[in-house]
């Protein structure tokens, strides 16, 4: 009886030690899981990229990462509004492009879905202009590592809808 009691105490003490040790580990795991869930795109380097846009004039992330080479990018419009009212595209610009100047010219290029023909040399890749519920997937190649601006060139959207594509 006495022995069993002692063993029980020992078992309890061991369980307590394990639990307090394990508690800290569990906390850390939970923290990193939460961060990944909140910003999956910002953390991952992938050459198959999906980015969303919405009726509130936002991209789902302002930072994309990929490795130099061929990149597949899908732009989704998770909203409901029509292309004429809340259209989105994603235009990747060459390093050194004056983004605001490009955006001003793009805003006047309604006939070409806000892609200004005069600025074609500044564009690395572009999706088509899409409305709520639509998506577009493009393939392109970037061989030079660097930081590339991406924007939505729909009039007025540049203020909120822009980010950096970091090519490693």
Contact positions vs Cu ion (CB under 5 A): 88, 152, 154, 157, 161
Q: How far is the CB of 71 from Cu ion (least distance, A)?
A: 20
Q: How far is the CB of 119 from Cu ion (least distance, A)?
A: 17
Is the CB of 83 or the CB of 94 nearer to Cu ion? 83
d(CA 107, CA 110): 7
C-beta separation of 145 from 168 below 8 A: yes
Please, is 49 exposed, middle or buried when counting C-beta atoms within 10 Å of its C-beta (0-12, 13-18, 19+)? buried
d(CA 87, CA 151): 13
Is the CB of 12 or the CB of 160 nearer to Cu ion? 160
Residue nearest Cu ion by beta-carbon distance: 152
Q: How far is the CB of 104 from Cu ion (least distance, A)?
A: 15
Is the CB of 93 or the CB of 161 nearer to Cu ion? 161
Q: How far is the CB of 88 from Cu ion (least distance, A)?
A: 4
Q: 53-81 burial by CB neighbour count: b if 16+ within 10 A, else e? A: bbeebbbbbeebbbeeeebebebbbebeb
Is the CB of 124 or the CB of 161 nearer to Cu ion? 161
Q: How far is the CB of 94 from Cu ion (least distance, A)?
A: 20
Please, is 111 exposed, middle or buried when counting C-beta atoms within 10 Å of its C-beta (0-12, 13-18, 19+)? exposed
Could you tell me which residues are beta bridge partners of residue 149?
A: 164
Is the CB of 97 or the CB of 127 nearer to Cu ion? 127
Instruction: State both tokens at 99.
Output: 């983004």
């Amino acid at each position: 009886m006495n022995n069993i009691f002692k063993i029980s105490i020992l078992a309890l003490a061991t369980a307590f030690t394990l639990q307090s040790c394990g508690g800290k580990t569990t906390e850390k795991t939970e923290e990193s899981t939460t961060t990944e869930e909140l910003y999956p795109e910002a953390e991952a380097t992938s050459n198959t990229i999906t980015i969303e846009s919405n009726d509130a004039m936002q991209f789902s992330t302002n930072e994309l990462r990929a490795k130099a080479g061929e990149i597949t990018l899908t732009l989704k419009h998770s909203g409901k509004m029509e292309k004429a009212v809340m259209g989105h595209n994603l235009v990747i610009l060459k390093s050194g492009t004056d983004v605001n100047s490009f955006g001003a010219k793009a805003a006047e290029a309604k006939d070409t879905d806000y892609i200004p023909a005069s600025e074609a040399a500044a564009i690395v890749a572009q999706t088509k202009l899409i409305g709520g519920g639509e998506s577009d997937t493009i393939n392109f190649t970037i061989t030079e590592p660097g930081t590339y601006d991406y924007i939505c060139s729909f009039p007025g959207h540049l203020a909120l809808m822009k980010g950096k594509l970091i090519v490693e």
